[in-house]
Structure 1
Amino acid sequence: MKRQKRDKMTRAHSKGYQAGISGRAKENCPFQQNDARSQWLGGWREAVEDRHLGLSVK
């Protein structure tokens, strides 16, 4: 059975979340396309909010 790739938008959101949790700046977004960039930034914002609430474990 072939493995399916994850949806690119879901992957962008996930990568943005990982970047936000690790404390990287939003200017480090690797995506140029508006849709993927928007998803990455959404994940980044979510992670930063979680980090401020103390939900991340270091």
Structure 2
Amino acid sequence: MKRQKRDRMDRAFSKGFQAGVGGRSKDNCPYSNLDSRSQWLGGWREGVDGRIKGLLFNK
């Protein structure tokens, strides 16, 4: 049985989260579609937030 690809919106969110955790700029968003772009930016925001909170707790 073939595995289904993840939902495109979930993938955009995940890629944005990875970019946020990695410290990349939100200007590097690769999506031009409004829905995908908003999902990517939401993931980016959560990734940046998690990175900042992780840095604060590690000190």
Higher helix share: 2
Unmatched runs of 5 consecutive residues or more in structure 2: none
Residue identity (%) = 67
Confirm or deny that 1:21 pairs with 2:21: yes
| Greater Rg by CA | 2
Matched to 1:20, the amino acid is G
SS of the aligned residue for 1:9 comes to: helix
| CA RMSD, 1 decimal | 0.9
Aligned pair count reads 55
* Matching of residues 1-58 of structure 1 within 5 Å: 1-54=1-54
Unmatched runs of 5 consecutive residues or more in structure 1: none
- What is the TM-score when the length of structure 2 is the normalising length? 0.90
Flag as ranges the 4+ runs of structure 1 deviating above 4 A. Answer: none
Shift, 1:54, TM fit: 1.0
